[in-house]
Amino acid sequence: MEVKINAVIGSEESSKYLTQEELNKLCDNDVSTVSFSLAAGEVATIEIDLGTRYILDRVVYYYTGGVVSIEASESYGLWYTLPINYSTNYCYCSGISYKPRWLKITHTSVTTAVGMEVSVYSGYTNILFGSSGLFHSFGIDSSGVEVQEIPVYNNTNVAKDICVFIEETSDDADSLLAYSTTSSGVFYNIRDVGVNLPRDINWNSGLHINTEYDGVGLTISGSSVSGTYYSPVLNISGHDDCRFFWSSHKPVGSKIDYFFSGVQEDCLGFRSFYVPPSGSWVSGALAEDYDYYWSVPSGSLPFYPVRRDDLIDIIPGSYVQFAVTITGSLADKPYLYAAGIEDALVLSSVQANNSSSVYVMTISGTLSGKSTNLLCFSKEE
């Protein structure tokens, strides 16, 4: 994603453009540094050109003080106001239903205010399926089929790396399907790579608040009907093209959620940073306000809501942590069986207006005739 950001403070009659240093701070993945300050009555306008139209998963703006609005445009000049969710020191828009190229953030100061960081998370781009790119999705019915070839078409004007996932239609689908970039190559199961709890790290690690691992999975403990779990900090070096996943048992009336999310569907809390945490963080303990690496001045580094199969913006070589709240009945407990990040299959340098192929096979059992969709997007640089 080639992004251009233009930011100005004031009106046309009296305005100040942000310097390159200020713009760098606005998108340097450091939410604790101030990019610009606003005096009483000043307005900052941040325009973001994504270079092409994207389906966006989330837009996040970190700030303190003032009033914020976020708009999007598919055709410059025709702006749509996006609904905003608010949290401490940041706000975000999610579930954007159309494909904008431009974004506009307007930050109006009431007394004094500062802007700190802008993050744009893209779920999908205009990479399509079929030898001519005519299909928006591609279903796999792998029952009784050993190897299936699926063309992936790059309908852009430049060569791109394309990432491919299997989209969950059941909790068992991914464990039965394997990928390869050639029909005779080595097939691998995407759940065998990446970082996975409890395969790599036992559920007994981390911070439990009325949650426990009872030999089956992570669930509420004792007589509690709700509990929260903070995972240990995970080193995900080498896993740059990823999505978040989990598998669960969720009876009627129970929830697997993150209590700060504001998202009206199943989600976990997720955060990342590019330096290793210190002290008790490696055991999943709560943040200290004086912990430089995982804190901002007013408290701990915030968690983002991530849904199952969300593509996540991971800083290469960074460290991540997630949190979950489990709510339900003791008679039929909800369970989080596994959670983590999984790697994409990457088709490298697919030429402009050309196609490549991914090969999928059933590695054990059958899918009982169920169709499983492929999820495909271009690698963001």
For residue 280, pLDDT over 60 is answered with no
pTM: 0.61
On whether both 24 and 103 belong to a single domain, the answer is: yes
* Span 306-334, average pLDDT: 77
Beta carbons within 8 Å of 340's beta carbon, 6+ residues apart: 194, 195, 196, 197, 199, 200, 234, 244, 245, 246
pLDDT tens digits, 208-243: 899 999 999 999 998 888 999 988 887 777 777 777
* pLDDT tens sequence across 237-251: 777 777 777 888 888
pLDDT at 293: 54
> Are 251 and 269 within one domain?
yes
For residue 289, name the pLDDT band (cuts at 50, 70, 90).
Answer: very low
Looking at residue 367, what is its pLDDT?
57
Our CA dihedral for 270, 247, 276, 281, rounded to 10 degrees, sits at: 80
For the residues 145-168, what does the mean pLDDT come to?
78
User: If you average pLDDT over every residue of the chain, what do you get?
Assistant: 77
> Which stretches within 133-262 are classed as H helix?
173-176
Amino acid at 55: I
Specify the range with the lowest mean pLDDT, choosing from 114-128, 310-324, 360-374: 360-374
Question: Mean pLDDT over residues 294-298, rounded?
Answer: 52
Q: Label residue 104 by pLDDT band (50, 70, 90).
A: very high
* Per-residue confidence (pLDDT) for residue 290, from 0 to 100: 45
Last residue of a domain, one of 124, 142, 157: 124
Return the minimum-mean-pLDDT range out of 43-57, 180-194, 354-368: 354-368
Query: What was the pLDDT predicted at 212?
Result: 93
Confidence of residue 61 (pLDDT cuts 50, 70, 90): very high
Question: What's the mean pLDDT in 109-126?
Answer: 80
Round to whole Å and give the CA distance between 178 and 180: 7
Please indicate whether residue 376 or residue 173 has the higher confidence score (pLDDT): 376
Q: Are residues 134 and 100 in the same domain?
A: no
Do 108 and 31 fall within a single domain? Answer: yes
Q: Greatest CA span in the chain, whole angstroms?
A: 69
Spatial CA neighbour of 119 closest among 187, 35, 62: 62
Average pLDDT estimate for 357-380: 68
pLDDT computed for residue 136 by the predictor: 61
State how far the Cα of 356 lies from the Cα of 272, in Å rounded to an integer.
32
Does residue 297 carry a pLDDT above 60? no
Whether the Cβ atoms of residue 177 and residue 145 lie closer than 8 Å to each other: no
Residues 6+ apart with CB under 8 A from 97: none
Same domain? For 333 and 207 the reply is yes
- pLDDT at residue 340, as a whole number: 83
Same structural domain for residues 267 and 163? no
Token pair of 20 as six digits: 């390159």
The CA-to-CA distance between both ends of the chain, in Å, stands at 6
Residue 24's pLDDT is 84
Regarding predicted confidence, which is higher, 363 or 342?
342
Which of the listed residues 100, 124, 148 is the one where a domain comes to its end? 124
The span from the CA of 214 to the CA of 98, in Å, is: 43
CA–CA distance, 378 with 356 (Å, rounded to integer) = 13
How many domains is the chain built from? 3
Q: Are residues 201 and 339 in the same domain?
A: yes
Q: What is the pLDDT of residue 82?
A: 87
Ranges 4-13, 38-47, 119-128: which has the least confidence: 119-128
Mean pLDDT for the stretch of residues 322-346: 87
Between residues 358 and 94, the one the model is more confident about:
358
Residue 161, number of CB atoms within 10 A of its CB: 16
Residue 30 confidence (pLDDT) above 70: yes
* β partners of residue 347: 162
Task: Indicate the residue among 66, 100, 124 that finishes a domain.
Answer: 124
The CATH code of the domain that includes 17 is 2.60.120.260
Confidence of residue 105 (pLDDT cuts 50, 70, 90): very high
Q: Do 151 and 172 have their domain in common?
A: yes
Give CA angle at 30 (27, 33), nearest 5°. Answer: 95
Q: Do residues 174 and 140 lie in contact, with contact meaning Cβ atoms separated by under 8 Å?
A: no
What is the DSSP code string of 225-251? SEEEEEPPPEE-TT--SEEEEEEEE--
> In this model, does residue 108 exceed pLDDT 90?
yes
Q: What Rg do the C-alpha atoms of the chain give, in angstroms?
A: 22
Distance CA(30)–CA(148), nearest Å, equals 43
Task: Give the domain extent around 116.
Answer: 4-124
The proportion of the chain whose per-residue pLDDT surpasses 70, expressed as a percent, equals 71
Q: Which pLDDT band, with edges at 50, 70 and 90, does 98 fall under?
A: low
212 and 151 in one domain?
A: no
> For residue 44, what pLDDT is reported?
92
Mean pLDDT in residue range 325-336: 89
Same domain, 241 and 288: yes
Task: Kindly tell me the sign of the dihedral angle through the C-alpha atoms of 19, 21, 22, 23.
Answer: positive
pLDDT band per the 50, 70, 90 thresholds, residue 261: very low
Shared-domain flag, residues 69 and 187: no
User: Does one domain contain both 118 and 156?
Assistant: no
pLDDT given for residue 1 in this prediction: 47
